[in-house]
Structure 1
Amino acid sequence: MSQETDAVLQLLGPHEERILTEWLQEAGANASRTTEAGRRAMRSDAEDMLRNLRDGLQAGGDPEAFQAAPWSGLRGTLEALSRSRAAQGQSAGETSMFVLAFKRPLFGLVQQELKARPELQMGAVWVISALADRMAQWTASTYQQTREELIKRQQQDLLELSTPVIKLFQGVLAVPMIGTLDSSRTQVVMETLLQRIVETGSRLAIIDITGVPMVDTLVAQHLLKTVSAIRLMGAECIISGIRPQIAQTIVHLGIDLQGIATKASLADALELAMAQQGFTVTRSR
């Protein structure tokens, strides 16, 4: 442990309460918009960070090697702080500013306690600055990763919600498609539909593409792959929503849909499905 690191460590223990108080003041914990629960949470976060900072220094942690083992506890605390604040909707900047706010009380202690040792003052200031900067960088990167994971999870949830598999009646399922049909969405549709076929024992699936704005070669390939997977499960498929423009596009592209039942509307597909299942619909007075 260097003299500068040891000097910073000696400042943390005896002055912990002062550091915490000034840190929270600098971070705005006493602002009128901050609730009592918010102040308690900020103090708890500051206490955890200060404790792990002290442990890292005692273990011989080098501020230049923040990813080393001595700083594992501090990194874990910063990650938990970033994830918690990201979930609450706070920005990465707000989290980083909270971390950087502990510089001021420590700089004040260095100026006061080491004034008789000017050769250590600049070194101690450098140690504090290096640690604070790396801590802030770690919170920012963790925050970014958390937000990306949240966005991906939300996108997946929306993807699943946008491709529901509906049981129309015994033995018949329907999948209304709305929007662009790409590879990832096709994969979700296929997995969900095949799972529902197994669960319900259905023998017929209707894929309705009325809400698909455009059918090109790629979309047609996705549809054909889905139909092939359905047939491998022992079921059959009807594609509905074949509008005149889509029919012309399919013919123009030379896409072969032979052997696949197609209908202009979902109502027509439902009528065909009921006929194939042996159902007859009659109007009762």
Structure 2
Amino acid sequence: MRIDLHTHSTASDGTDTPAQLVRNAAAEGLDVVALTDHDTVAGHPEAVAALPAGLTLVRGAELSCRLDGVSLHMLAYLFDPAEPELARERELVRDDRVPRAQAIVAKLAELGVPVTWEQVARIAGDGTVGRPHIAAAMVEAGAIETVSDAFTEQWIANDGRAHVGKHELDPFDALRLIKGAGGVAVFAHPLAAKRGHIVPESAIAELAEAGLDGVEADHADHEPATRDRLHALADDLGILATGSSDYHGSRKNIRLGELTTDPDVYAEIVARASGTPPVTG
């Protein structure tokens, strides 16, 4: 059984539509795939409608959080999307993304990068705008060669010259909201130091005490030793350890199902959820 619990579609910053994503997941031989777009559930209906026979869809979202000045992401699975408090917070984060992206574009213009807001909006389309759309516009403008080149201190990384902050949840509030909506919470790529500053392991322990269900241990941005450390930490804390591709389509050089979650861990996630069930085509 092959299970990938972290993917993105054009509803946020992926390049596959939700329908394309589930079809591609089936073509890659996955049995279960989670659609976890950034701060939105807009892609869920299309993914459900296009679900191939035999493929199970876990509906979720990746929530933007910040703890002690460090950005982090919380994967929320199988929550009730209509629960009003969590829905309101997702809307606040999404609404802040447009002015934030416009401010980043303005900073890039000051740095001599010929990118416009209209260009970024065209690339984002109907999706929730994010930094990968700005990075794609920078590639299009010839300022950099690849999307990854944008996520450096020179440009739009968290400590970069053109970085602008956005509204983010306190992760302890995010846990409360996810649980209140019947969902299951997993800390996404918690030790991915190549992305920027990370929280200490003591913070992960505090989150576990507050109800964190698991950590995403097997991730492309974790070195093998880091993955081993996270599996050991999960054992020590009595929480789950997942594995996922964090697939973004052509924006990242990783395939659907390149990293996967143990079936027993997936079964435990489903057992803990009470918000909305998985859907099988």
TM-score, reference length from structure 2: 0.27
TM-score, reference length from structure 1: 0.27
Greater RCO, 1 or 2 (C-alpha within 8 Å, sep 6+): 2
Larger strand proportion of the pair: 2
